[in-house]
Each structure stands twice: as structure tokens, then as C-alpha cells.
Structure 1
């Protein structure tokens, strides 16, 4: 085994393990602060769940396609790496829910599907479901006693407003974010503002109205995309890291992480051992568990218990003339699991994103998503079968009868960490255990949220804590060398 001793050791060398958006954001933060950074990614591709591609010559996103713009972290990162002039809001934000045999407009005035009043849901819920929402005023307050330290979103909303709200609205919206089960997902972790607002206002509906009043005071679009695809962000961040003297290596899996006899960390990749003064672990929970097993068994055990959901995206290109009049207006639709369909959503990409629509010429691009937590069997289907079931559901929802001219299936195995009740307590235990290790931090979707801004914020937190480490706080590229 060879040691990394060919170059003088520089105080302040930091290794980031994992080249998803969290690892890239952490490395960018560290490189911008003047540290020597090496990012190691196990696969041949950077970006994690952000992936740019094309179909029939049309550039598309094959992973995440938008980012929340009312949190600043991701938009700020895009601007910092030169993509500010390519940021674009969706061309349309109107969407539908395909339920009970029809496409029904997504109501306004809700927070992750939880309504502020029943009137907005007319046509989406039954008369009994609407009446059940009004019954909340007769219930005891939704205070700290009712909510406790944490509670499942679906269970609490069903108790307050009825199961129809959960099954027809909350479940498909949460399924789009977490690919999970609303009746198991932590309210405190997934919708923390609603959790706290419910404590303050006593009813869910009043909590939603209060949050909506706050949202109305905000300006600018709620979401942003990037012309050319959100999947172009990882490459731009990597370029910015290398421009600042950092090193970004793909196809370089880390097989071991141990404390070094000379201080800092030894990072083993194949037969090479790289020395680092500090390490940021920005990998999925199962990988972080393996890396931390030797030095922090308690953190490793907690991370090993985190479960993940898998999903597939089916991207389809049609001749524009073949779909004329078939697709409804809007950005697409969600599908409640209770309706028993295979797809859980469809995005009309050419209608949702101006850059896709303008770049598609005589083609129309749309995509479907398949797979939720506990539905792994869908991911074992052949590509052709996933395309077929997608077309079947699209035809039933919209009447689309055309055959695509090109298809692309992208599988995300273990793509989304699940946030069950107690998840935040687990994260706190992991961080407490990791904090006992010198100059090591963790970040990524498993800790602070699965959205791009949340991942960037998690990365910044890890990077800033590393930079504040006493042995590194004064370290720069010009520091004394060993």
C-alpha cells in the first residue's frame, strides 16, 4: 500500500468524500476559503441525483429538475459558479391531481397538501371529506400535547382533517419529495414550519393560513430551474473548485477512513493512502456508516438504520403533431397511491420549462416517475415495461395515444432517505457522535432535508465547522509545511 507522501504536506488539506451536490457544495465552500481540497467520488459521474442528459437530441434533466428558490442556498451556489444568467422559473406552475378518474386542478392555499380551508378542495374531495375538514374546529387544540416531540404527518393530518386529505393531497405531494409513506414520515422533519405553526395556532387549518400569509409577503418565484438542466450545476461547481486549486476525482471509491498517527486522517482509495487534516463525509447513510464504523461505531450504527426509497424516471419524446390537443395545460399532474396507478407523477417538461420547450423543436418531452418506499418491485421491471405502463397511465389520464419517438429510463436505486418519526433525534445522535472525532463532519440529504437547498445548507454547515476547527482555523495554502 502506498502512502501519499510525494508532495509536501500542507496544513489545511481537506478531503471531501462524495461528489453529490452536498459534497460539491462543501468542497466549493472550503476551496473558496483558501483551503487545499480534494473531492473523491466513487462513481464516474458527479452530481448524485442531479444529472443532465438528452433525449432525441433535446437536453433534459434525468434527475432533479428544479430547486426551491425561497431558500437561498442553491440559487446562491448557482450564481457563485456562473449560472446566474441561466436561472429560470417554471413557465407554468399550474398542476393537477389525477384522482377518482379525472385530472383535477391542484388547489391553492395549502402547505404540502394540508389545506387552509375546505372550499379550495371542492371537486377534489367528496362531500364527506369536505365536511370532515370543517369538523376540526370542534377538536381539542393541536398543541404541544397533541403533537409531542414528533408525529407522523399522515396520521396527524388524518386525525385532524380526515384521511381523504392525506390520501388525495398530502400523500402524492410528500411522495413526490420523499417517495415515502405519509403515514410514516416525520412531520417535524418534513414540514417543520407547519409543525411549529400548529403548536402556535391550535388548528392545522389556521396554521396553514398563517403560513400562507407569510408566503404571500415573499416576492419572486417559489422554484427555479437552470436552462440546460439542473443537472448542469454539478459540473459548474466542480469547475469552480478546480479553478480555485482544488482537485476533483471521479471513479475513486474510498475503502477506509482512519485516524492518522501523525494527526488528521488517512483516507484509503485502492492502494493509495491520502493524508488529510480534515474530512467531510458527504455520502449516503449506508456508505457513511461503513466509513465511520472503525472510528465511531455509534454513529455508524445509527446511519446503518436509515432506510431509502428507490424510483425510476421515464423520459419520453413525442412528435409535436402527434400529441396536439392531447396534453392539458399546466406543468403536469400527481397521482395518489390510493388510486392504484403505477406512475406517481408526470411532468410535461416542454410546457413547464421554457428552455426545454424552445429546445425541443418539433418534439414534446414529458416524463413520469415510478416507485415509492416499499414498492421496489417496479424497479426490477425491464425498461420497455416501465415505458409501457407509463404510456398506459398517461393514456388513461390525458387521452394521449401517440407512440414516443425516443425513451430513456433512469433508475435511482436507494435514491431518497426516509424521514420517519424520530429521524431528527437520530440525526442529532449521529452529529453528537461525529463531533467527538477530530476535524470530521458529515453532510447530505440524510441530515437536513432532501431538497437541493437543504443539501447545500448541510454542506455549508459541515464546511464552516471544519473551517472553525482550531488546528485549521488559520490554515491556508501558504501555511508552514511539514
Structure 2
């Protein structure tokens, strides 16, 4: 009987274990912590559904939805309230709405152009840059072809199309909100691959997006009872004997025809290992096996602190999903905030509110929960312009080094790393350090890794 070890019980490792179980292949899942799912966690209390990590998945990517349906959660899938999809940027003490009908940095159709031209976020010069971008299609396509295969920063890519102002006012807060990193370091090939493909085919991003007009489907999707439902269903499907919680793996040894895994309760032998740990732990486990691996793994990872606040009293909020704070802003220590009950239905009882505030400052990590809650409340009060009532529920989650940074050259480094790993038969890497950070991409990677392990 084939023996497979999965190291790391976050969404990637757990999904791989579930997929192997569905394929009829036994495995052992090692998790250093006391729970499965990693940063995917849902708190349910008194009619509130509060996400402690990600709150949704990108709806156009199918893999998370397919998993939910397979787990019997199809009727639980809910769309984001896109009729109310507005996001703000903090500018000089004011929440300025981003233009509507945008696909990240690119206006969609005439409605997007009209919204852009009426926006107070941009100067007249930036608006002219948008209007001129389709007329520069041949020039932009020629550049893309001449530099095919060369990576560059998100900042350089956006500035080439729409100018530096758009890069700083729009791309920077959007990307820091998703990836927690600087657009001057993030790889455009790794984090905006669809836009790179549009440039290569059409030159103009505006023209390319118009040619590939999306349907009116919602941008995000989630589960009525929260994303924790995925974790709960997969965990329940696995044999209890296969789960080794609170058991950190401290060493991996390649024996030539298999693997020895050193964990809390001794050493065990396996034919195949799926390594689904964060980069720092992956580096430690691979150092003796592949001395060059550490240089190829993501060098930096950003941290996040989530302050979730649930209120029984209804109070006014700007219409929309929430706001972003530009990178390096002196106006607020917040990175972003989400108006949760406006983004999704079924998140609060009648007249209730749920807000989530995000910090990325490492120096806040060790502060007590009560101090972080008060800091989050104060920052929200200052930005929203009115005091908030006392929350009925407040939660703090610290996710240190949870978001690996896909810096320029990321794809090439990952390809080189995976080539090295392939030299050690029976080992595969998966997780958010390699081929995408969102739930659908992590589910896809886990499915592929499980199929690979089952066929070995």
C-alpha cells in the first residue's frame, strides 16, 4: 500500500488530503497547529458570520466553487452584492470612490470610461492617459513582443499604459490590499498575468478587455455560513487516524526509494511527500536536501492583523464594499477595511453591522487584543467621521508572514525550484508561495498535487 505524507494542514494540504481520500488513497496529514485550514477560519455567533481570514474567492476561477459543490455546499454559495460594489481610497482625510465598472485598473466599456472621466480620484492628465491608451495599441504591443518573457514590476507595467499617477493612486492600494506588497517589487507576470496576456495580444488593455467582455456574473463568491464550511466538511470526511494535529515535522530525509519524516512522535517512512508549509518552514526542511532552495523561495512575506467587529446597532456607512489606504500613507495605520454586511448577505442579523479592519505593521503584532481592537476602532472612527458604538463581538487574528511576496522574477525562481525538487523523486511543493494566493488557485494546486501523488 502506497504511503503518502502531507506536511501542513492549511487549505492546500487539507484539500490534497481530501482529494487523495476521494481517490481511495490513504495519507497522513501532519499539522503543527491545533486546527486545520490555516488562515481560513469562520466564527459564528448570535446570527453573525465573521471571517477571520479570507472572506471570499474570485468567482470566475472555478476550482473553489467546484470543491464547495462536491462537498454538498452548492446551495450555500452566495454572490457578492455587486450592485453595491464600490471601493474607496483614503485621500487627504476623505474616502474618494474608485471609478466604477473597472476590472482592477482597466475601465470596462463606455460605462467604465464615463465613470473614470467623472471621478475625482484622478487629475485631468491621468484621465487623458486613459483616453489615449487605446490609440497607443500598436506601440504597446510592439513593446510587449520585443520584451516577451521579461518580467517587470507592476508599477512599471501600469505606468507604461496609464502613467505613474494611476500606478500610485489605483494599482498600489489595490495590490497592497490583495498581496500586501509594493507595486515596485511585485512581479506583473506573477500577479497580473491576464493583463500581460492582453497586452501581448492587443497592446491596449482597454481594447483587449473590451474584446473579451466578461458576463455580468458577480466578482466574488462565498458561502452563506462562511468559508469555514469548506474546512469543516473536508476535515469530517477524513479518517481521524490520518490526522496528526499539533505535530510539527522537524526533518525530512530522502532514502533513495522513499522518505523518512521526523515528527513529534518519532520517525515514519513514506513513499511520497507533499510539502504544503509556509516558505520559512519549507526552507528549513529543504536546506539539507537542496542547499539552493532557500534562495529560490519567496524572500519576503507580509503579515496581517485582522480586527473583526460585529455591532447590533445599525449606523451609516458609505455605500460599497470598503476602503483602501495607499501604501506608506501618513493618514492612517490601516491597510484597508471591509464593510462586510454590505459586501455579502447573511453576515449579520437585521440591523446589525460587521466591519473588518486590516493592519500590516509588524510592530503591532505583540500588542494585546484589547489594544488592537481599540486602535482599529479609533482608526475607523477617524476615517468614517463619526464614533462607532461598542461592538457586541470583537475578534483579533494575527497571521504572521502569511502572504509570500511574488517579486519580479518570481515565476523563473519557482520554475528553477521545482526543477530542483523534481530531482528528489516523490516530493512536491504546494501552497501560496508558488502559483497563486487565492482560494481557487490553492484548491487547483492541491488537486493537481494529489493526482500526481496518487499516480506515482
Q: TM-score, normalised by structure 1?
A: 0.85
Q: How does 1:388-403 map to 2 (within 5 A)?
A: 388-403=374-389
Matched, 1:255 2:250: yes
Q: Secondary structure at the match of 1:351?
A: helix
**Does the CA-based 8 Å contact 1:313-1:370 persist in structure 2?**
yes
Query: What secondary structure sits across from 1:108 in the alignment?
Result: coil
**Structure 2 spans left out of the alignment, 5+ residues:** none
CA shift in 2, pair 1:114/1:370, >3 Å? farther
Post-superposition shift, 1:294?
2.4
CA contact (8 A) 1:312 1:369 kept: yes
Q: Which moved more, 1:277-286 or 1:110-119?
A: 110-119
May I ask how many residue pairs the two structures share in their alignment? 443
Residue 187 in structure 1 maps to residue 188 in structure 2: yes
Aligned to 2:273: 279
Report what 2:336 is aligned to.
345
2:99 is aligned with 1:104: no
What stretches of structure 1 of length at least 5 have no aligned partner? 1-10, 470-482
Q: Counterparts of 1:435-454 in structure 2 under 5 Å?
A: 435-454=422-441
What does residue 3 of structure 1 align with?
Answer: none
Q: Residue by residue, what CA displacement relative to the aligned partner does 1:21-58 show, whole Å, maximum 9, x if unpaired?
A: 00011111111111111111111121111012246773
Match of residue 302, structure 2, among 287, 291, 309: 309
Pick aligned residue for 2:24 from 34, 38, 47: 34
Decide whether the 8 Å contact of 2:136 with 2:203 is kept in 1: no
- Does the 8 Å contact 2:90/2:323 carry over to 1? no
Q: Is the 8 A contact 1:114 1:170 kept in 2?
A: no
String of CA shifts for 1:256-300, please: whole Å, max 9, x gaps. 111237x31111112411221111001111111111222222334
Q: Distance in 2 between matches of 1:379 and 1:182?
A: 24
- Report if aligned partners of 2:175, 2:183 keep a CA contact under 8 Å in 1: yes
Q: Is the contact made by 1:186 and 1:421 (CA closer than 8 Å) also made in structure 2?
A: yes
- 1:79 Cα deviation (Å)? 1.8
* Superposition deviation, residue 402 in structure 1: 2.1
Asked whether the 8 Å contact 2:253–2:259 carries over to 1, the reply is: yes
Cα deviations across residues 302-339 of structure 1 (Å, max 9, x unaligned)? Answer: 22x53100011111122315x2xx21222222222364
The question of 1:75 aligning with 2:65 is answered: yes
> In 2, distance between residues paired with 1:196 and 1:444?
24
Check whether the contact 1:167–1:338 (CA below 8 A) recurs between aligned residues: no
* Distance change in 2, residues 1:149/1:111 (3 Å): farther
Given the superposition, is the C-alpha separation of residues 338 and 55 from structure 1 closer, same or farther in structure 2, using an over 3 Å criterion? farther
Q: Does the residue aligned with 1:174 lie in a helix, a strand or coil?
A: helix
Contact 2:259 2:270 in 1 (8 A): yes
Between 112-121 and 127-136, the greater mean CA deviation after superposition: 112-121
Match of 1:297 in 2: 291
Superposed, 1:198-347 pairs within 5 Å as 198-211=199-212, 213=213, 215-216=214-215, 220-242=217-239, 247-260=242-255, 263-303=257-297, 305-321=298-314, 323=315, 326-337=316-327, 339-340=329-330, 341-347=332-338
Contact 1:111–1:194 (8 Å) recurs in 2 = no
Deviations 1:187-232 (A, max 9, x none): 1110111111111112233234334x1x23xx64332111221123
Tell me the distance in 1 between the aligned counterparts of 2:217 and 2:48: 28
* TM-fit CA distance, 1:394: 2.2
SS, match of residue 16 in structure 1: strand
Residue 39 of structure 2 is matched in structure 1 by 49
Distance 1:425 1:246 in 2: 39
Contact 1:64 1:231 in 2 (8 A): no
Q: Where does 1:354-365 land on structure 2 (aligned, <5 Å)?
A: 354-357=345-348, 360-361=349-350, 363-365=352-354
Deviation at 1:138, TM superposition (A): 5.0
Aligned equivalents of 1:426 and 1:344: distance in 2? 28
CA distance, structure 1, for counterparts of residue 187 and residue 208 of structure 2: 17
8 Å CA contact 1:315, 1:366 repeated in 2: yes
Instruction: Please report the TM-score for the alignment, with normalisation by the length of structure 2.
Output: 0.90
Query: Could you tell me whether the CA contact under 8 Å between 1:114 and 1:165 is conserved in 2?
Result: no
Tell me the distance in 2 between the aligned counterparts of 1:160 and 1:441. 38
Give 3-state SS (helix, strand or coil) of 2:365's partner. helix
Q: The residue matched to 2:442 in structure 1 has which SS?
A: helix
